[in-house]
Structure formats: structure tokens, C-alpha cells
Structure 1
Amino acid sequence: MAPVEVADGRGKNLLGAADSASQGEISQAQFEYRPLSRNGELIEVIPGAIATQHSGSGKANQYFLRGFNLDHGTDFTTFVDGIPMNMPTHAHGQGYMDLSSIIPELVEKIEYGKGPYYAEVGDFAAAGHAKMTTMSRLKAGGIAKFSAGQYDYYRGLLAHSNPLGGGDLLYAGEFNLYDGVWDVPEDSKRFNGLLKYSLDRQDWGLSIDGKAYTNSWVATNQIPQAAIASGAIGLYGSMAPSDGGTSNRYSLSSNVWQQGSHWKNTANIYALYSDLNLYSNFSGFTRGEEGDQILQTERRVQTGTHAEHIRYQKIFGFAMDNSIGLQFRHDQIMGLGLYETRNRQTLRPISNSDVGVTTVGAYLKNQTHWHDKVRSIIGGRADFINNDVRVRSTGSGDAGVNAANSGNRGKVMLSPKAGLVLGPWYDTEFFVNGGYGYHSNDARGTTLRVNPVDGSPAVDDNGLSTARITPAAWSRGGEAGLRNNLIPGLNSTFTVWWLQSSQELVFVGDEGTTEANRKSNRYGFEFTNYYQPTDWLTLDADYALTTAEYADDKSHVPNSVGRVISTGATFMAPNGLFGTLRFRHFGHMPLDEAGNFWSGDTNIVNLGAGLKQKQYKLEIDIFNILGSESNDIAYAYAYSYPGISSDEGILQHPVEPRMIRGTITVNF
């Protein structure tokens, strides 16, 4: 049953189209007037999701959803024009998802889903996924945009599209400079470029696009709470003024599609190069006066493809869609290293490896309309993961250690998925979904046998290594919910869900590594609302409540956000005046398993206002108008600072203060 489309994005009527209550779509119109302080906040348009920033504007955001501290993307995956953004076996963290290479004004739509119920999505998607699609052409003509704000914030964008050879050529360039409020200026310099050619022939089409991104920055990392209280460090001070890094990403991809009356084929192929040099200090001076700074570095070549065939059939009188898909991805990671450094000068290596990670996935999906009010979605996927690790050097300097920690490990993951949709009755559909998913683990951990620093063995009573981890860990979950469009202009969903993860991946700040932790359970509910009572007013309000605990002893999962509230209002008057007000809240969260340390609540209010005419738009955005200095993120672990030390203290990331930005946009 085809949905009746009354609007784009969250205003679209998805009755008869969505596979779950927690699935949705957001269009450019939903964030065109929304103040965005960073690219990662594109994820925050997904109800219940949080994106925070620390360690500078060039580093991937830290994400939170459904009680997961997703670190930089471990259990939430994003695709941009078909390219998976999450990086397995990354220098900084498993599943690293940096969205800095996206130009927000050129994102046409974001499709999202939560939970492991979607057959076409594999690695890193247990908590959810997002698929971003960039525009093929600019409907309003070219864009020239310039923003300036406090703390030396400057951003410029130039984009245009032209007809070419029966298709459309879109090209854009962006720069962003920022110092920030920090005692040590961030000195961020970000540049983005995009070139995309699209062709649409009704029954077939293609797009070819290239993207380029480069960034450099100085970071203010977490600082001791006790040092702030004593006055040793200001709220915007730094333990290591030379922290920061450089990052580059260059990609080329192609998407093609063809359709007939009873079938459709789609395929994409991509290749990209990326690199990162990241200097961080997570613990201060536990090693001595030289400090604890480390360098995490890598160079990566990633290639892949995704092909899908869909047939629209009628078997035994029942209408059904059958899909079959094949996915391939290979990441060749060179110079994957961890080093002890001081002021960005290398002191000694900890490890340096070359790693190849290959994933092959195949999936089947059947959607059957058993009745006008009953349809089922049955699917499953099989993924094969192969890790090839070659350790080049370690802190021990022992060739035997290098050989012991090298090798190949593989694993096959089978992930069944199912869903049932009932209705609609009174413009209300009911959903039940369940399924398995997984996240891959860092390849270096799957072949590790001895300590790379001193070569000491890590074995059990049978002489088997206890340091090695499985190449992948499963997740399983289910949800029940409803979607309601009874009131004209109001889209509401209510979902109750549960998710179990066989293995947590926890970032170990004072070592700069990711380690496996115990099985966990999460459960909660979400209530989302999007209301457009008139052409000039849009309201939204989303509430999510989550409980997260380890399965064996019911202890807290650290950094699991239990309560998320996001609400806002946007008005657009006929004369072009517009305004938007947004409120974001995430509740206090445990910083350790015992619950001895907790972070405080965070409340952030952003305000935007301006005037839009056919050829130009003027706007002023005020971020964090309450001037809140609550912690975006805090951690509990050992640190040392001159005159102040703790075996288990609190390190916090300072939040940016109130900030004003002005923007002028000209269409030509």
C-alpha cells in the first residue's frame, strides 16, 4: 500500500511504508532553519540521538543513542551517498565515524532506523543507522554563504549546479576557521569540496561524485575537575597545549539504478583514501614530567560495493517484494600506530602495524502483504569478516613479539530479522520487530597474544591466549510500537524496546585503546512528535528514557545517558521573517560501574532568527543562550597533574559558552 505523502521529511505520512515504529526520514527543510554548531548535529535530527564534541573540531563527534555511549560510532553507522562512514580498526576507536566531510546545506534527506532489524545494514548498526543523500542539483540556483561569529569563527560556502549532457553537474567548496574560547586557541582550518554529476532517464539513472576534505586543529582535551576547583586550571584550560591533529579524506563513488515494471536494480561502488594524526593526553603526567601524550596515526585505502535486486511479485494471490543484496568492503590500513610523544615529538613506539580488514555480506528480504491490514518483513544476512594483521614494531623491540601478535582471524555472522505490521486503523499502524546485529572488533585485538610493550604472555591454564578477542560480537533486540497520523499535520510514534549486546567496547582513555567488556542489557521507550498545524509553524518534541546495565551483576554501564529530551519550534511568516527555538536535555549518567560518580544534567537552548527572500537570507544564531557550563561528557579514571593526583578522579570536557553567529546567504 503506497503512503499518502503530505509533506517531506518528518512531516511525511509513512503509514504503509515504514518497517518499524522507530524508522523515519528527515529532509533538508527540517534543518535548513535549525542552528547547527557542528556537522555531527545532523545526527541529532534523529529523535533520541546526541552528538557532542571534544578534543577539537577536527576529531569525530561522540555519539549517544538508546543508552549507548557510541564513542565515535561503534554501534551506530552512517552512509553518505552509499559510502559507509564508520572505520573498522581505526587508530582512535573501533567504528570511528567522522562526519566533518559533509556539507550540511547539500544534504537532501536523511533516512534512519533504530535497532538491528534491517537486513540491508550490517556492521556497527545494532543501535541504529542513518543514510544521507546529497542533492543532485540546486533548485534555487547557486548559493554563496558566509558566517562569522564570536571566538574567531568564520565559514564560507560556494555551491552551484548546471545542466550538462542531459544531466546535472553540482559543485561546491567550503572553508571553516575557528579558534574557540579555549586558553589555547583551537586554530581549526577545515576545507571541503564536492563535485557530483547526476543523470535521470526515468527508467535508469546514475551519479558520480568526488569529495575532498582536509582539517588541522589544536585540541583542549578533558581536564581534572579537582584542578579546576583549586584554580590550577581554568574551565577552558589545557593539560597538554600541543594536543590536536590533522585529518584528510578523499573519495570517489558512483551510484547506478535501473527499473522495470516489476523489478529494480541498484548498485554503488566507491574508493577513498583517509589519514589521521591525532595527539591526545588522557591522564596528565602519570608517566612523569614528560607527560602522557600519545600519537594515534593511520593511512587508509577503502574500497567497496553494494548491489541489490528487488522483484515486485504476486505469489498465491499475495503481493510481495523480494530483495537480494551483496556487499563487499576492504580496508587496507597502513602505518596503524600508537606512540608515546611529547609536544608532538615521538619518544617511543607502542605498536605499529599494517592491517587488512575484508567484509563480505549477503542478505535476503521478503515483504508480504497478507491482507490490507497485515504485512510481514522477514530477512536475514550473512557476513564474513577476515582480519590480516602484520605487526611491524612494538615497544618491546622484540621481533618475536611482532610475529606473535600477527596473523589472520576470521568469523561468520548470521543475523536473522523479522517484523510484523498491523493496520492502519484510524490512521494508526502497530509494529513488532526483532533481530540480530553485530559490531566488528579491532583486528589488532583479534590476533594479540602478548603484551606489545614488554612481551609478557597473556595465557590461561591451558596455555591459550586470553588477550585475543573475537572478530565480531553479536547484538539482539526487539521493539513494539505504533505510528499515528490521526490528527492532520501531526506525526507521532511510541516505541518500547530492548537490546542486548554480547560484548561492550569501551574506550580506555589513559591508554588510548578500546577494550572488550561484559554482556549488557538496555531497554526503554521513545515518544516522538512532529506537528505542522499551519504552513508557517512547525513543532517537534521527542522524549527517550533508557536503562543500561551489565547482564551479570546489574551494575551500571558507564556513560549511558538515561534521559534525552529534544524539542523545538520553527515559524516562517509569509513576509519572510523566520525564527527557531530549540531545547536539548540529556540527563545525568553514571561515570563508573558502581555508581559512585555521576555527571550532571546538561541543558542547552539555541535560538535562531532572520529574514528570507527569494535572492537572499539573513540570520543570527545564538548557541547555548543559557550560558550553561554543565559537562557535555565526563569520565572517571586515574590522572596526575602537578600538585594534584587521583587514582579515581573525574576528568571533564568543558562546554563552549554562549556564542553568537551571523550568516548571509545569497542565491544566484
Structure 2
Amino acid sequence: MHFNLARKPLGLALLAAFALPAGAAGIPTLQEVTVSGGGKDLVGVADTASEGTVTGKQLANRPLLRPAEVLEAVPGLIVTQHSGDGKANQYFLRGFNLDHGSDFATTVLGMPVNMRTHAHGQGYMDLNFLIPELVSAVRYRKGVYAAEDGDFVTAGSSRIDYQRRLPASFVDVGLGQRNFRRLLAAGSHTFENGYTLLSAAEVSGYDGPWTQAQNLEKHNAVFRLSEGSASNGLALTAMFYRADWTATEHVPQRAIQSGEIGRYAPLGANDGGKTHRYSLSGEWARSGENSAQKANAYVIDYGLNLFSGPSGYISGVNGDQHEQADRRIVWGGAGEQRWFLGPNWRDSELALGADFRQDRIAKVGLHRTENRRRTETVREDRILESSLGLYAELRTQWQDWLRTSAGLRHDQFRAQAKALAGANNGSNGGEVSANQTSPKLGVVFGPFNLLGPSEFYANWGHGFHSNDVRGATARVNPQDGSAAEPVPLIVKAKGGEVGVRVNPLPGWNSSLTLWQKELASELVFIGDEGVTEPRGASRRHGVEWSNYYAPGNGMILDADVAWSQARFKEEINGGRQVPNAIPLTASLGLTWDDGGAWFGGLRLRYLGAYALEESGAQKSQAFWMTSLKAGYRVSNKLQFTLDVLNLFDRKANDIEYWGGACTRSEALAGTGGCGVGGSLDGRLVHPLEPRSLRLGMRIMF
């Protein structure tokens, strides 16, 4: 093992650690489930049975393979990977294959993570820049019931915030199998004027179990100047992230079974990429007895060059590698005013808000490549996409046992697309606009004393996700010049749920939710081909049972089960099942930290078998996976941790697909037309990483 890391980020890391030393009234309500350890059972008031908050205390002892697995603290949400660790993860929730984020919206410090009209896929949500140790809270909602939520909030949303000050400065050093290495240094300092500067720097690398070493190199830094709290203060944050890696994509399972390639071998060499995300953001909030205000603004410089060849050798033995390139500036902001109207207005709370976002995409392109060298441009476009959202929401306490929330949101989208290159792009591009008005309604009954304090919820609403602008302005298929039908810029969704939340014992929060969702279209822009693929309208429904128990002795136990069914409204390709919609997931987690010498966590995760194609004849393999974290405090200045990921060395697949691909031997033999445009349908897999041990040391100052 070695640290092959740039000197400058390492210097920033050491500077962060050493230069910055630590320095509704009268109305009874059941409060919001907060899945965190603390002195109180419940914190905040909930509008639905399926929302909650995860705090940094619970995340601290979760064994994590990847940063985005922070989101697995959201009950029922699954995070996987089908490529290299520098690429955005694959997400699953409520019967949705969220791909890389098309139906689940995430913000970090008020900045959107999902990328519109992205080179690889609509809503691309790359969370590899997260530093889990800095996360103060993850607030999540499921469904389309909050007026504050706009684009991509179909299955749900999460809002991730960072701490404003640290209890102590620290340096973390991590080493592990397969050349895993990580250095994180962080600290905060409070000045005499009350402002606090938090700074952190991270450098890490990892080769992985792959025959072709991943060579992942990540550099990350955060500088945050703040005053006050999130509800009454301000913060300015600068973030810097870049990464490059070599990827092993998913491969045909038959290539592994025949012995043509090993279980962890690539189909083709030198896939992978490089990416960066540099941002500057500001947040401000003030709250008083009768009103509250908040506002934020941000600017993001983002880029990606992604090289992939998942289809192998359809066109010949030189392979089918392509590059998806994206360069953009994203800027925008939001503001909200709330009024607390008092007992004369039944303790109503009125909120008015607005948000604006603009993506200035200098170039978004698809290029054919060989060994990362461009041989042909399939298409390249310049995009300007803007959106404005306005919303109003009214919460009213009608009786001690009855409160309601009613909201209305209106979103307006405008976009311009200009074709820059590509043989058949001359007729593509132009201007397009769309709008969506989304009503929301919620009713809460309780609290009652049924098996403990209980509340019952009913929610209904409309929402949407935006489509790729290139699909909305398409006239010609860039691959073959055939006619293409433009698709709507906005895909509408509507849904509802009923649920109950109860506290059977002190510290035990349990919620049960029945939900349903309709999506107007499963249209997806296929970045690998530069075209839009229609998949039809769909319906989903399901049930979720989530439990969180904190008895108060440093132990936190959480257990979740989620079942769903996803179906197309009309038959497609011989069936109505939505591919890669996981019908059953479960998780069980235990963390323990009473402040003594020993601490740690254990997590079990279950993924049920899911349909790989519309008929359901081909299904994935169901599996359990377990991971462990164990820690020991030598003193209040020094501690060690051991993470054992995939504890029982489970042999399964992180993700499975069904589709066409060709191996090198099939292309040479011309099997099924491979090598000359044909392909063989079959199971495409990306294996779970084998058991991995990672040792960490933290020094505090």
C-alpha cells in the first residue's frame, strides 16, 4: 500500500487539522421521527408518515463502502454501483430504478446535485464528493407532497447539511486491502466576532478487486465560514472536488461462466473517466416569534469525461467504447418567507417561496472512442436550460387532533439547444418550454394514545421530473439519420399515501405506510446512443414498515422492510413488469457508542430478486450482505477503527441487467452477428466486491 497523492491537497489536509484548533404553542402534536441517538424520542413536526431526519451521530458508526451509502440511512433506499467508483452510483427506491438519480432529488448545503440534460443520464446524481464525517443531518421525504420540492422529486428527496463547527480537530488515516488509502483532516476555529471557519481536506485512492486496477484518485476540500445556526444564521461554503479512475463495467455473465474473463475482469480495457465539481454557496436564515425567512444562492462549475464500453464488441474487435463529455456552470438560488399566524388563525403557518436554476452547458457530447481517443462525434450540443418555481403552503391546526397542509407549486421551464457537431444533428435543436402546476394536500389525525402516542396521515399530490432537452428538441436520430419524435420536457407524476406513526415504547419510533404512484411516461434519454427511449406510462404501489429504537444507553437499532410492485400500464416486449424495479428490500442495523472505550456498528441489507426484462422470465439473484465497524478509544485523543465490508464474503452481484453485448471471442467468431452490428441478449452483471478490511486511525487535537 502507498499514498500516491498530490502534495497540495495533502498540505491543505494538514492545515485543516493543525492550523485550526477546535474551538406551535399550546397544541399537542406527535413529533417527527428522527432516526438518531439523542435524549429525546422525537424532534420536529411531521406532515407524512414517510419522512424523517438522520443525524451525524447515527452515521458516525455505519460501515460505508462508498460516500453515497449515507443515503442508505433513508429507509428502503438502496445504493449500488455498476462501474467504477468515480461514477455516480445506482439508486433504487419505491419500485423505481432511479438510475443515477432521475426520480430522486438531492441537495447538499442547498445546492442541487442532480444534473439536467446530462451526458450520461438525466438527473445524474454524483455524491462521491461527500465527506460523511462532516454530515450533520440528512432530511428525507418520500413522495410528491411538499410544495418546496420541485424537479426530480418523484420517488422522494433528501437534503444533506454539513456541520458548522467540530467538537475537536482531527486527522483520519485509513489503510485497507487492495491499495485502499485515505487521509482526512478537519478542524474548526471560532473567531472573536462569533464567526466559525470549518475546513477539511481529503485525499484518497483505491484499486479495488478488479483485474484491471481501478486507480481511483480523489481530492476533496471544504471551507465553510458560518455564524449562528441553520435556522438563525448564515454560512458561506467553498467546495473543491476532482477524481479520476479506471472502471470495470458490467459484463455478460456468460463470459465469466465460460472462463473467457475472470469474475473481476473487464470486457474491454481503459474504461473510466475524470470529473470535477467546484462550488461556492451561501445560506442565510432568520427566525422570530411571528415569522421566519431563509435564502440561499450557489454557483457550480462541473465537468465529466466518462469512457464506457458496456456492449463490448458489437461493431468489431476494436470495441465499442464511447465518451460522454459534459461541461457546465450551474447557478441559482431560493428564498422563503413564513408567517406564524397565531391562535386567532388556528395557529396556521403560511409559507411563500421561490427557486431559480440555470444550467449553462457549454458542451454535452457523445463521441466514439478507442482507448480513450475520439474517432467520431455522434452528437455535441450547447444547452441553456432555466427553471423558475413558485410555491405556497398553508398548515392549519383545526383541532387538537386534526391538522392539515395544503400547497400549490408552479414550475416554468425554458431551454435552448444548439447542435454543434454530429453527422445527423443539423435538424436537431431549437427552443422548448413547459410548465407544471402541482397541488399538494395532507391531513394528520392525532395524537391519540393507541399502543403509545400515535398519529395517522393521509397525503396526495402531483410532481414531476424534467426530461433531457435534447430529447425534447429532437427531429433526427443522430445514430442513423432516421426521424425522431420529440418528447415532453416535463414528465408528470401523481401519488398518494396513508400511514401511521407510533411510539410503543420510549425511544421506539415505528411507522407503517401504504403508497401508490403513477408516472405519465418512463421516457429515458439514453446517453450511450444519444437518443430518447420510450417506455410507456407506469403504476407503482407498495408498503413500508420502518422502525428506530434508541433505548438511551448508547445503542441505536433500526429495522426496515419495503415491498413494492411496478407495472407498465400497457404491455411492452411481452410483459408489463418494469425492469430493475426491486420489489422487496430490508435492512437491519445496530450501532453502539456509550462514550466508553468500545464502539461500532453492524448492518445487514437484503435485496430481493427483481425482473430484468418486461416479461419477468429473467430475474436477478436475491441476497443478504453484512458489514461491520468496530472501534476502540485508546484515549480521548486517539482511536482506532476496523471496517469489515461484506463480512461473510457474499458472492452475489451489485447490479444485474438484461441486454445485448458481445465478448471478444464472439466478435472474432461472428456468433449471433457479433462484430458486424449484431449482439447476444443475456444477463449483464457487476459483482459485489469481496470481503474488504479497512483500518482507520483518528488523532484529535
Could you say whether these structures have the same fold, taking a TM-score greater than 0.5 normalized by the shorter chain as the test? yes
Aligned positions of 1:94-133 closer than 5 A: 94-133=122-161
Three-state SS of the structure 1 residue aligned to 2:71 is helix
One-letter amino acid of the structure 2 residue matched with residue 441 of structure 1: N
Residue 596 of structure 1 and its aligned partner are, at CA, apart by 2.1
Moved more, 323-332 or 577-586: 577-586
Aligned positions of 1:218-229 closer than 5 A: 218-229=246-257
Change (3 A) 1:6 1:449: closer
Give the Cα–Cα distance (whole angstroms) in 2 for the partners of residues 242 and 209 of structure 1: 35
* Counterpart for residue 561 of structure 1: 582
Three-state SS of the structure 2 residue aligned to 1:629 is coil
Provide Cα deviations, 1:365-418, integer angstroms capped at 9, x if missing partner: 00000011100000010000111100011134xxxx42x201000001011000
Give the Cα–Cα distance (whole angstroms) in 1 for the partners of residues 164 and 384 of structure 2: 34
CA contact (8 A) 1:282 1:510 kept: no
* Counterpart for residue 655 of structure 2: 633
Residue 456, structure 1, aligned to residue 499, structure 2: no
Change (3 A) 1:439 1:301: same
One-letter amino acid of the structure 1 residue matched with residue 170 of structure 2: I
Provide Cα deviations, 1:197-238, integer angstroms capped at 9, x if missing partner: 001289952110000000000000011111111000100011
* Counterpart for residue 581 of structure 1: 602
| Aligned pair partner of 1:610 in 619, 628, 631 | 631
Provide Cα deviations, 1:613-635, integer angstroms capped at 9, x if missing partner: 42222110100012112111111
* Counterpart for residue 489 of structure 1: 507
Change (3 A) 1:574 1:319: closer
Aligned positions of 1:444-593 closer than 5 A: 444-458=470-484, 467-506=485-524, 508=526, 511=529, 515-553=533-571, 555-573=576-594, 575-593=596-614
| Aligned pair partner of 1:154 in 169, 176, 181 | 181
Residue 332, structure 1, aligned to residue 332, structure 2: no
Provide Cα deviations, 1:586-641, integer angstroms capped at 9, x if missing partner: 10111100112111012110011111342222110100012112111111111111
Change (3 A) 1:203 1:455: closer
CA contact (8 A) 1:170 1:196 kept: yes
Aligned positions of 1:42-121 closer than 5 A: 42-121=70-149
Change (3 A) 1:7 1:373: closer
Give the Cα–Cα distance (whole angstroms) in 1 for the partners of residues 383 and 230 of structure 2: 43
Residue 317 of structure 1 and its aligned partner are, at CA, apart by 4.4
Moved more, 381-390 or 448-457: 448-457
Residue 239 of structure 1 and its aligned partner are, at CA, apart by 1.2
Residue 652, structure 1, aligned to residue 685, structure 2: yes
Give the Cα–Cα distance (whole angstroms) in 2 for the partners of residues 266 and 621 of structure 1: 39
Aligned positions of 1:168-567 closer than 5 A: 168-200=196-228, 204-314=232-342, 316-396=344-424, 401-402=425-426, 404-426=427-449, 427-458=453-484, 467-506=485-524, 508=526, 511=529, 515-553=533-571, 555-567=576-588
Give the Cα–Cα distance (whole angstroms) in 2 for the partners of residues 415 and 628 of structure 1: 44
Three-state SS of the structure 2 residue aligned to 1:363 is strand
One-letter amino acid of the structure 1 residue matched with residue 183 of structure 2: G
Moved more, 508-517 or 540-549: 508-517
CA contact (8 A) 1:203 1:260 kept: no
CA contact (8 A) 2:34 2:43 kept: no
One-letter amino acid of the structure 1 residue matched with residue 431 of structure 2: N
Three-state SS of the structure 2 residue aligned to 1:183 is coil
Provide Cα deviations, 1:63-115, integer angstroms capped at 9, x if missing partner: 00001000000000111110011000001000000111111100100100000
Provide Cα deviations, 1:38-83, integer angstroms capped at 9, x if missing partner: 0110110000000012211110010000010000000001111100
Three-state SS of the structure 2 residue aligned to 1:25 is strand
CA contact (8 A) 1:629 1:655 kept: yes
Three-state SS of the structure 2 residue aligned to 1:97 is coil
* Counterpart for residue 462 of structure 1: none
CA contact (8 A) 2:378 2:530 kept: no
* Counterpart for residue 464 of structure 1: none
Give the Cα–Cα distance (whole angstroms) in 2 for the partners of residues 577 and 557 of structure 1: 45
CA contact (8 A) 1:6 1:13 kept: no
Three-state SS of the structure 1 residue aligned to 2:99 is coil
Moved more, 25-34 or 194-203: 194-203
Three-state SS of the structure 1 residue aligned to 2:172 is strand
CA contact (8 A) 1:9 1:29 kept: no
CA contact (8 A) 1:359 1:384 kept: yes
Residue 10 of structure 1 and its aligned partner are, at CA, apart by 3.8
CA contact (8 A) 1:501 1:519 kept: yes
Give the Cα–Cα distance (whole angstroms) in 1 for the partners of residues 145 and 33 of structure 2: 26
Give the Cα–Cα distance (whole angstroms) in 1 for the partners of residues 44 and 224 of structure 2: 33
Name the % identity: 39
| Aligned pair partner of 2:57 in 29, 35, 47 | 29
Residue 468 of structure 1 and its aligned partner are, at CA, apart by 0.5
Give the Cα–Cα distance (whole angstroms) in 1 for the partners of residues 203 and 65 of structure 2: 15
Moved more, 212-221 or 47-56: 47-56
CA contact (8 A) 1:75 1:126 kept: yes
* Counterpart for residue 48 of structure 2: 20
CA contact (8 A) 1:170 1:197 kept: yes
Give the Cα–Cα distance (whole angstroms) in 2 for the partners of residues 502 and 260 of structure 1: 42
Give the Cα–Cα distance (whole angstroms) in 2 for the partners of residues 578 and 512 of structure 1: 50
* Counterpart for residue 14 of structure 2: none
CA contact (8 A) 1:282 1:509 kept: no
Three-state SS of the structure 2 residue aligned to 1:42 is helix
CA contact (8 A) 2:325 2:363 kept: yes
Change (3 A) 1:571 1:512: farther
CA contact (8 A) 2:366 2:528 kept: no
CA RMSD of aligned residues (A): 1.8
CA contact (8 A) 2:381 2:417 kept: yes
Change (3 A) 1:512 1:121: same
Three-state SS of the structure 2 residue aligned to 1:210 is strand
Residue 485 of structure 1 and its aligned partner are, at CA, apart by 1.3
Three-state SS of the structure 2 residue aligned to 1:226 is helix
Residue 579 of structure 1 and its aligned partner are, at CA, apart by 2.9
Give the Cα–Cα distance (whole angstroms) in 2 for the partners of residues 667 and 4 of structure 1: 39
Three-state SS of the structure 1 residue aligned to 2:550 is strand
One-letter amino acid of the structure 1 residue matched with residue 624 of structure 2: N
Aligned length in residues: 654
Give the Cα–Cα distance (whole angstroms) in 2 for the partners of residues 454 and 512 of structure 1: 11
Unaligned ranges ≥5, structure 1:
459-466
Three-state SS of the structure 2 residue aligned to 1:216 is strand
Residue 172 of structure 1 and its aligned partner are, at CA, apart by 0.5
Residue 163 of structure 1 and its aligned partner are, at CA, apart by 1.0
Give the Cα–Cα distance (whole angstroms) in 2 for the partners of residues 332 and 630 of structure 1: 41
Give the Cα–Cα distance (whole angstroms) in 1 for the partners of residues 60 and 288 of structure 2: 35
One-letter amino acid of the structure 2 residue matched with residue 482 of structure 1: V
Three-state SS of the structure 2 residue aligned to 1:232 is coil
Give the Cα–Cα distance (whole angstroms) in 2 for the partners of residues 363 and 315 of structure 1: 24
Give the Cα–Cα distance (whole angstroms) in 2 for the partners of residues 136 and 281 of structure 1: 42
Give the Cα–Cα distance (whole angstroms) in 1 for the partners of residues 454 and 230 of structure 2: 33
